[in-house]
Chains A and B, each alone.
Chain A
């Protein structure tokens, strides 16, 4: 357990989200402390992606509260988080370097030289040296996702969301990305990861959340939730995954 006095990086309280008559999130509460790595598991349609989209304000909540570092102003809190998408969403008309440095320079008004040297060190760290002037269409999927991670990190977020970051990739490329995530976890980057990689989740996470039907079914240490699930729905889900 973290120290009680510490303010959580992310706090969601009683979040509900409906699309028309369909209630996708039913009263979800969640907090993430600094340096914590949280994996979100759950079957398709369980609401885990919607949870991420509400947390990043890509969707508005039907009701509930959202705060980062104790702040709630929707515009203000945007600076605290970044996101890595399943489909990378790199800007195809920008070079790798421009993809990384443009936002810090033009939206955060940071010094260009500072951002450039940060970008170069991130590229080096992610094994993308020499790709500065390449365009996204010239990269492999794994390389694209690493650029997307670098782009998100260059914004210096407090918390980084990953929305199924490996599900568009081949197994060998998946390993590349998982290695990067592990690296980030070691550096105490606060992360929330929606994933299907059970082994990875067990290995990297401080905490695992299992969502089904729009509610948190089970939550706890990975060895508890994954290896000794107490809930029947979690057990079924894990069994299916292992069989598949």
Chain B
């Protein structure tokens, strides 16, 4: 299911990008405004580059680097978790300044303005120890899983994939896609798939947390990570890159990498001061690729003792990490996201319930223009996925009207979620109301007419109270669905409870947080159903 949804999402994203290119893009090359906030887009389920730690903070190698760059430049760092499928839309609509998240350059050289490569990451195969799979050729006839839209997938299926890899992929019985690495590992451990192809850093992290897994020595491909900026935004790229080189020179870069030694990161670093072309990092393509350079950037005396200190903090971090798996900690973390879920839920009801009534009026209006407009509106809202509607509400202003989304203020993401949900649910409520109104016996209206009630009096006094009673059961259904639908806000990277649960699950590499989230939903829905039942009982005095 998830894989299907992702594939559909990818399709939607492609469609929106296509529309964008037809509408001609906005003017961002000339954006030379003084930067004060630096917005980094990242996938919060991608340790060690960007993820949510046990304290509920967004951390990771890339975010630490970005923080250091901001500290040195006097910028404010804004860490913006994004839905990976929407990264290009986020970037081109200015809601983020760059994608800095273990972002593979291979095959995407022309799509972004890239920094120099700073991590060399290879695609490797992760299998169960006792599977008997020892080399790539053993994968013939096996089920292999990759993350949707990942480098591993690209290594097998993109146009740039090597012949060997394409042939390898052909030999699999199936190449499946899943939404995140965590579910990939769950698939592997449960035996649903035979192997995962993933980035080496992530593979080592997963291997460290799951005893039964091994990484094949034979690699599928090597690749490099860079920071992706909006195409043409060389100014910002140069500023960031210049600071990065400073950090390489004084050893800070290596120190930060050392913090993530567990993930084998120091072994993957490939940004060195050696090839640095002073003051002119504009020269694209001057990638300083130093293959395997384990700790080549060892700083001198002081710094190495510094890195020693870092090592101790790493150990501390790990011990926290083990205790962080406790249910209590997860509950506390999820509560934060639950607030966001509640906000979506109540605000959507606040707007959608009355809006639905207006639409229902339009739908049964005597004016055929209004009637048809509402019919079309309801038909579209019910006939297309809510997910797509959310994307259109959020990105529409940019792709259709070229409005810079940053100008809508910092809360636009949340506002778009509420607008999208309200518009969608209002359509469903409208149809429920309409049915409720039309099912009231015509005799009620006739009696009201003969008693001299005006049209509005008839509705307010006679029809509406009876309608409310009749629509209670279907409205309760919709409301309960809404509680669970709030998780769709992930598509706009609005971190409600389920998105948060996935991020925590990715960090802990187990699915317990998802179960805890499930219990939250269940308990909340139980309360909702209970309250609605109470209301229904209250309306029992008439038939």
Contact = CB atoms under 8 A, between A and B. Distances in A.
Given A107-B451, A107-B452, A137 B542 contact: yes
B446 A85 contact: yes
Interface stretch (A35-43, A89-97, A119-127, A176-184): A89-97
Contacts of A87: 441, 443
Contact of B443 (A85, A102, A135, A137): A85
B461 interface: yes
A56 B450 contact: yes
A92 B543 contact: yes
A82 B466 contact: no
Contact of B543 (A78, A79, A137, A151): A137
A81 B441 CA distance: 22
Interface in A64-116: 78-79, 81-83, 85, 87, 89-93, 102-103, 106-108
B462 interface: yes
Interface SS majority for chain B:
helix
Contacts of A81: 450
A79 B542 contact: no
Given A89-B441, A89-B443, A107-B457, A58 B462 contact: no
A155 interface: yes
A125 to B, nearest CB: 20
B452 A91 contact: no
Interface in B407-462: 441, 443-444, 446-454, 457, 461-462
A136 interface: yes
A172 to B, nearest CB: 23
B452 A103 contact: yes
What is the size category of the interface that chain B forms with chain A?
A: 20 to 34
A142 to B, nearest CB: 18
B542 A89 contact: no
Interface in A117-164: 135-137, 151-152, 155
Nearest to A91: B462
Nearest to A53: B446
Given A93-B465, A93-B542, A85 B449 contact: no
A137 B542 CA distance: 6
B367 interface: no
A92 B453 CA distance: 16
B466 A93 contact: yes
Contacts of B462: 91
B541 interface: yes
A155 B451 contact: yes
Contact of B451 (A92, A93, A103, A137): A103
Contacts of A102: 461
Interface string B155-171: 00000000000000000
A85 B448 CA distance: 12
Contacts of B452: 78-79, 103, 107-108, 155
A58 B465 contact: no
Contacts of A91: 444, 447-448, 462
Interface in B352-405: none
A90 B469 CA distance: 16
B447 A107 contact: no
Q: Which of A58, A81, A82, A91 has most B Cβ within 10 Å?
A: A91
Given A56-B450, A82-B450, A136-B542, A89 B465 contact: no
A91 B461 CA distance: 10
Interface in B518-543: 541-543
A78 B452 CA distance: 7
Nearest to A86: B443
Contacts of A58: 446, 449-450
A155 B446 CA distance: 15
A83 B469 CA distance: 27
A87 B443 CA distance: 8
Given A106-B461, A155-B452, A89 B541 contact: no
A222 B543 CA distance: 41
A26 B20 CA distance: 67
Interface in B443-501: 443-444, 446-454, 457, 461-462, 465-466, 469
Contacts of B457: 106-107
Contacts of A56: 450
Q: Which of A78, A92, A108 has most B Cβ within 10 Å?
A: A92
B542 A92 contact: yes
A89 B445 CA distance: 9
Interface in B183-220: none
A87 B462 CA distance: 17
A214 B481 CA distance: 54
27 contacts: A58-B446, A79-B452, A81-B450, A82-B450, A83-B450, A85-B443, A85-B446, A85-B447, A89-B441, A89-B444, A90-B447, A91-B447, A93-B469, A102-B461, A103-B451, A106-B453, A106-B461, A107-B451, A107-B454, A135-B541, A135-B542, A136-B543, A137-B542, A137-B543, A151-B451, A152-B450, A155-B451
Interface of A: 56, 58, 78-79, 81-83, 85, 87, 89-93, 102-103, 106-108, 135-137, 151-152, 155
Given A85-B443, A91-B447, A135-B542, 20 more contacts: A58-B446, A58-B449, A78-B450, A81-B450, A83-B447, A85-B446, A85-B447, A87-B441, A89-B446, A90-B447, A91-B444, A93-B469, A102-B461, A103-B452, A103-B453, A107-B454, A135-B541, A137-B543, A155-B451, A155-B452
- Top 3 nearest A-B pairs by Cβ distance? A107-B452, A103-B451, A89-B447
